[in-house]
């Protein structure tokens, strides 16, 4: 699946960049062609305006390069041509060009020429002698001067310009081909790099779904088997079947908790689990929870000691912080045997931080496992935690709650001696 996406991304990237490269190449070529030929064309127009004086600009400055000027009469016969002259076969081709404002490019005998063909008004003396433009209306002897409409053709060699354009074309094509190859390669490589985190997230999500289904399978199987057992004896009373009913209820409760935990984590993954931030007294929340747990601890013959400072106000989501505390106390109670002790501390830690510590004298965690207890579905002793109803999601949720408040959670533990979980929370989330 990812290979296909990688190819699609790389192709899309290559197409976009190639289109840009080709557009830029064509743009550059056309621009330079215009710049070069515009200069030539301006020169041709200047000469066409005053034909037969091709060696000088109107201001008297010498021309950059000589041009050939040819004047045809209405029948297409050459009336006049500058010193440098075209032969009869070339004149045949030139004669065919139509009058136009825009000069044309002509390829004659391996040479390139730019040709402007324009109308010109000339004055003809009765004696039929030299042609000038802009002469007075009468001849030297007072004879009327005739106005004649002729055609002027100014031709200039543009081999140098064409050379530059051909080199430019070769370079542009080369840049497009080499650049195109590099773009395809780079696109493929970058698409691969960009997909790495997506692939990891996808694999994590796949794992999450697989673990979740696996976790749900066991309680579902238990519910099914006990329900079937009850169905085998339809005449028995609920009291007689109370063992099976109790198991079904226990597993249902377990599934409800599991589904609710899964939902919380799924929401944190898609950033939908938002906090409702409000100022609240953390010490009051902690005291409240501790009170509920004192009785439960007593029932398990565990001593719950508290050390809660007064007036600890913070900005955060009180319900989520309560949930975090419940997860930690629940673990401490679950993993501390009878006669053990749990110490709950809540105090100012300085620097605008509050410290929440749950320390127990329970079974502890093996040194290699301490780093993994915040992983989803991680359970130290699977058989034991399953019996306790745990699925290994509690601390993942606790870690998310701490981090969502810009806080931190860490665990220290010594096997068979006890575990301490410390949560550091900023009083103001923005700090
Ligand atoms: N106070 C503790 N003492 C010893 N081991 C602990 C303690 N807290 C957590 N652990 C270990 O870390 C594991 C993960 O804890 P976590 O709270 O995430 O899951 P759980 O308690 O197994 O299940 P649940 O999802 O019901 O909380 C536990 O299975 C246990 O092995
Ligand atoms: Mg737990």
Backbone angles phi, psi at 349, to 5 degrees: -110, 5
* Dist. CA 268 → ligand 1 center (Å): 20
Domain containing residue 225: CATH number: 1.10.287.130
Give the residue-averaged pLDDT of 138-147.
63
Determine how many CB atoms are found less than 10 A away from the CB of residue 360. 28
Domain match, 162 and 244 both: no
Q: Which atom of ligand 1 has the smallest separation from the CA of 418?
A: 3
Q: What is residue 87's predicted lDDT score, i.e. its pLDDT?
A: 81
Residue 137 lies in a domain: no
Residue 135 lies in a domain: no
Percentage of the chain lying above the pLDDT 90 cut: 58
Domain match, 418 and 352 both: yes
The whole-angstrom separation of Cα 77 and Cα 81 is: 11
Give the residue-averaged pLDDT of 197-202.
90
Q: Which of 230, 245, 268 is the last residue of a domain?
A: 268
| pLDDT tens-place string over residues 76-115 | 888 877 766 788 888 888 888 888 889 999 998 889 999 9
Q: Which of 239, 268, 297 is the last residue of a domain?
A: 268
Residue 221's H or E segment, with its range, is helix 159-232
Domain match, 38 and 71 both: yes
DSSP 3-state of 80: strand
Give the residue-averaged pLDDT of 65-84.
80
The whole-angstrom separation of Cα 64 and Cα 9 is: 53
The larger pLDDT score, comparing residue 431 to residue 109, is at 109
Report angle CA 343, 349, 351 to the nearest 5 degrees.
Answer: 165
Mutate to test the pocket of ligand 1, among 374, 380, 391, 397 (most ligand atoms within 8 A of CB): 380
Domain match, 264 and 320 both: no
Give the residue-averaged pLDDT of 188-192.
90
- pLDDT tops 60 at residue 136: no
Q: Which of 118, 111, 116 lies closest to 155 in space, CA to CA?
A: 116
* Dist. CA 370 → ligand 2 center (Å): 14
Domain match, 306 and 386 both: yes
Give the residue-averaged pLDDT of 229-236.
92
Give the residue-averaged pLDDT of 111-139.
69
Residue 302 lies in a domain: yes
pLDDT-wise least confident of 28-42, 98-112, 214-228, 385-399: 385-399
Q: Where are the beta strands (DSSP E) in 32-188?
A: 68-72, 78-81, 104-108, 111-124, 146-157
Confidence of residue 54 (pLDDT cuts 50, 70, 90): very low
Helices 394-404 and 242-269 pack at an angle, to 10 degrees, of 30
For residues 258, 262, 263, 264, the Cα torsion angle rounded to the nearest 10 degrees is 100
Q: Token digits for 402?
A: 């701490």
* Dist. CA 390 → ligand 2 center (Å): 6
Q: What is residue 109's predicted lDDT score, i.e. its pLDDT?
A: 84
- pLDDT tops 60 at residue 138: no
> Closest residue (by CA) to atom 30 of ligand 1?
380
Q: What is residue 59's predicted lDDT score, i.e. its pLDDT?
A: 57
Q: What is residue 312's predicted lDDT score, i.e. its pLDDT?
A: 94
Residue 108 lies in a domain: yes
The whole-angstrom separation of Cα 80 and Cα 153 is: 11
Q: Is the dihedral of CA 185, 187, 188, 194 positive or negative?
A: positive
Residue 149 lies in a domain: yes
| pLDDT tens-place string over residues 257-310 | 999 999 998 888 877 767 899 999 999 999 999 999 999 999 999 999 999 999
> Closest residue (by CA) to atom 12 of ligand 1?
373
Q: What is the mean pLDDT of the chain?
A: 87
- Whether 342 and 329 have beta carbons less than 8 Å apart is answered as yes
Domain match, 258 and 279 both: no
Q: What is the DSSP letter of 355?
A: E
Q: What is residue 71's predicted lDDT score, i.e. its pLDDT?
A: 87
* Dist. CA 330 → ligand 1 center (Å): 9
Structural domain boundaries enclosing 221: 196-268
pLDDT-wise least confident of 106-115, 123-132, 153-162, 314-323: 123-132
For residues 88, 92, 97, 98, the Cα torsion angle rounded to the nearest 10 degrees is 110
Q: Which of 268, 299, 327 is the last residue of a domain?
A: 268
Q: Ligand 1 — pocket residues by CB below 6 A?
A: 327, 331-332, 335, 360, 362-365, 373, 378-381, 385, 390-395, 419
Residue 431 lies in a domain: no
* Dist. CA 333 → ligand 2 center (Å): 10
Q: What is residue 295's predicted lDDT score, i.e. its pLDDT?
A: 92
Residue 136 lies in a domain: no
Domain match, 233 and 184 both: no
Q: What is residue 205's predicted lDDT score, i.e. its pLDDT?
A: 87
> Closest residue (by CA) to atom 4 of ligand 1?
364
The whole-angstrom separation of Cα 131 and Cα 136 is: 12
Domain match, 36 and 100 both: yes
Confidence of residue 428 (pLDDT cuts 50, 70, 90): confident
Domain match, 183 and 223 both: no
Q: Token digits for 266?
A: 């799924």
Q: Which atom of ligand 1 has the smallest separation from the CA of 364?
A: 4
Domain match, 120 and 235 both: no
- pLDDT tops 80 at residue 378: yes
pLDDT-wise least confident of 119-123, 248-252, 368-372, 385-389: 385-389
Domain match, 26 and 174 both: yes
Residue 348's H or E segment, with its range, is strand 341-350
Percentage of the chain lying above the pLDDT 70 cut: 89
Domain match, 146 and 184 both: yes
Domain containing residue 410: CATH number: 3.30.565.10
pLDDT-wise least confident of 172-176, 203-207, 386-390, 412-416: 386-390
Q: What is residue 84's predicted lDDT score, i.e. its pLDDT?
A: 67
Ion ligand 2 contact residues with beta carbon within 5 A? 331, 394
Q: What is residue 74's predicted lDDT score, i.e. its pLDDT?
A: 83
Number of domains within the chain:
3
């Amino acid at each position: 699946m990812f290979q296909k996406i990688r190819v699609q991304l790389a192709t899309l990237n290559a197409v976009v960049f190639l289109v840009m490269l080709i557009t830029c190449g064509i743009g550059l070529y056309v621009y330079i062609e215009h710049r070069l030929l515009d200069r030539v064309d301006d020169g041709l127009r200047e000469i066409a305006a005053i034909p037969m004086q091709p060696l000088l600009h109107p201001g008297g400055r010498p021309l950059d390069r000589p041009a050939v000027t040819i004047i045809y009469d209405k029948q297409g016969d050459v009336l006049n041509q500058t010193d440098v002259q075209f032969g009869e076969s070339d004149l045949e081709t030139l004669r065919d060009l139509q009058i136009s404002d825009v000069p044309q490019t002509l390829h004659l005998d391996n040479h390139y020429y730019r040709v402007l063909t324009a109308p010109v008004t000339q004055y003809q003396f009765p004696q039929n002698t030299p042609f000038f433009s802009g002469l007075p209306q009468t001849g030297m002897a007072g004879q009327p001067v005739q106005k004649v409409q002729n055609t002027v053709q100014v031709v200039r060699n543009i081999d140098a310009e064409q050379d530059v354009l051909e080199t430019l074309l070769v370079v542009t094509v080369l840049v497009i081909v080499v650049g195109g190859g590099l773009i395809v390669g780079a696109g493929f490589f970058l698409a691969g790099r960009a997909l790495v985190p997506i692939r990891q997230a996808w694999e994590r999500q796949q794992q999450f779904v697989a673990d979740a289904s696996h976790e749900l399978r066991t309680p579902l199987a238990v519910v099914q088997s006990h329900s079937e057992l009850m169905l085998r004896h339809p005449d028995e009373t609920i009291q007689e079947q109370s063992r099976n009913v109790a198991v079904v209820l226990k597993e249902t409760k377990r599934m409800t908790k599991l589904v609710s935990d899964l939902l919380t984590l799924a929401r944190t993954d898609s950033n939908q689990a938002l906090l409702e931030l409000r100022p609240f007294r953390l010490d009051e929340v902690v005291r409240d929870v501790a009170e509920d747990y004192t009785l439960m601890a007593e029932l398990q013959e565990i001593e719950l000691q508290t050390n809660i400072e007064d007036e600890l106000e913070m900005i955060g989501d009180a319900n989520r912080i309560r949930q975090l505390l419940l997860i930690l106390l629940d673990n401490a109670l679950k993993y501390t045997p009878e006669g053990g002790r749990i110490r709950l501390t809540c105090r100012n830690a300085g620097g605008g931080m509050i410290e929440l510590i749950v320390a127990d004298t329970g079974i502890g965690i093996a040194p290699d496992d301490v780093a993994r207890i915040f992983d989803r579905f991680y359970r130290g002793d699977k058989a034991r935690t399953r019996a306790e109803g745990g699925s290994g999601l509690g601390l993942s949720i606790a870690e998310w709650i701490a981090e969502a408040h810009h806080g931190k959670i860490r665990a220290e533990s010594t096997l068979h001696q006890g575990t301490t979980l410390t949560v550091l929370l900023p009083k103001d989330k923005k700090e």
